[in-house]
Amino acid sequence: MIAQQLTGEQLLDKAIAYHDPHNNWDTFKGTLNVTMETPGGSPRVSIIDIDLSNEYFKVVATRDSIQTMHSIKKGKCTTSITDSISEPQRRTPCETAGFLKNYYTYLYGLPMKLKDPGTQIFETVERKTFKGKEYLVLKATYDEAVGSDVWYFYFNPKTYAMETYQFFKGDPNAKGKDTGEYILLNKETVINDIKIPAIRAWFYNKDDKYLGTDILKAG
């Protein structure tokens, strides 16, 4: 059902006003402690330092006593990974550092990151029921240079809190069908006056298979 009362940009502005009322994300400086739990696997604990003003990112991840470090400061990469790259499709350690920087700043910077250049916000807002709850749903795609996934963001219709998001590898009504994942968000951690979802549970769109859960604590 179409939610005529709000455009996509208006909904995004209301969601950002809820999560980041003082516009602190652009100058975010803080530490995130993220534990990833997966079925049948050992937990991975990641200590993530982000300083957007100084273009600094660092993640130290530990699983089963094995620790790795990746950091980027003003485009310069430092990493603990020293093995050679023999597989053509495998990321180099510094490419991995860039991937991790983009991954963590995107997911933990939502919904504010939807204001980034290259993001295409659809004007039409839909009202949908997902997993038994009603939401206002925002659709976003990206310029080709940014990414090809199609994203949907589910907001509480009363508070505008972001409670779920979902992505497909292409149009979900065409080649993207049965691809991608949805992420259920629960609880919030307040860091630098920004309300950040504390628990993210990941599932496949295709069969609802549970993939794992990320648990966030402030550093």
Q: What is the pLDDT of residue 135?
A: 98
Residue 80 and residue 93 in one domain: yes
Residue 38 and residue 103 in one domain: yes
14-19 average pLDDT score? 98
Range of the domain at 40: 29-108
pLDDT at 78 over 90: yes
Assigned domain for 148 exists = yes
Assigned domain for 71 exists = yes
Q: How confident is the model at residue 90 (pLDDT cuts 50, 70, 90)?
A: confident
135-142 average pLDDT score? 96
179-192 average pLDDT score? 96
At which of 108, 143, 161 does a domain end? 108
pLDDT at 3 over 60: no
Q: How confident is the model at residue 5 (pLDDT cuts 50, 70, 90)?
A: confident
Residue (of 22, 73, 78, 67) closest to 50 by Cα position: 73
pLDDT at 1 over 60: no
Residue 53 and residue 20 in one domain: no
pLDDT at 145 over 80: no
Residue 13 and residue 76 in one domain: no
Residue 53 and residue 102 in one domain: yes
Residue 40 and residue 68 in one domain: yes
Assigned domain for 102 exists = yes
27-42 average pLDDT score? 96
Q: What is the pLDDT of residue 153?
A: 98
Q: What is the pLDDT of residue 219?
A: 63
At which of 108, 140, 174 does a domain end? 108
Assigned domain for 163 exists = yes
Residue 67 and residue 42 in one domain: yes
What's the number of domains the chain is made of?
Answer: 2
Residue 93 and residue 173 in one domain: no
More confident residue, 148 or 27: 27
Q: How confident is the model at residue 83 (pLDDT cuts 50, 70, 90)?
A: low
Residue 68 and residue 15 in one domain: no
At which of 108, 139, 157 does a domain end? 108
Give the bridge partners for 7, in sequence order.
124
Q: How confident is the model at residue 87 (pLDDT cuts 50, 70, 90)?
A: low
Assigned domain for 217 exists = no
Angle at 140 between CA 100 and CA 22, to 5 degrees: 70
pLDDT at 165 over 90: yes
Residue 47 and residue 61 in one domain: yes
Residue 86 and residue 12 in one domain: no
Q: What is the pLDDT of residue 217?
A: 87
Residue 125 and residue 156 in one domain: yes
**Strand positions, DSSP E, the chain:** 2-7, 29-37, 44-51, 56-63, 66-73, 76-79, 119-121, 124-130, 133-142, 150-155, 162-168, 181-191, 194-204, 210-218
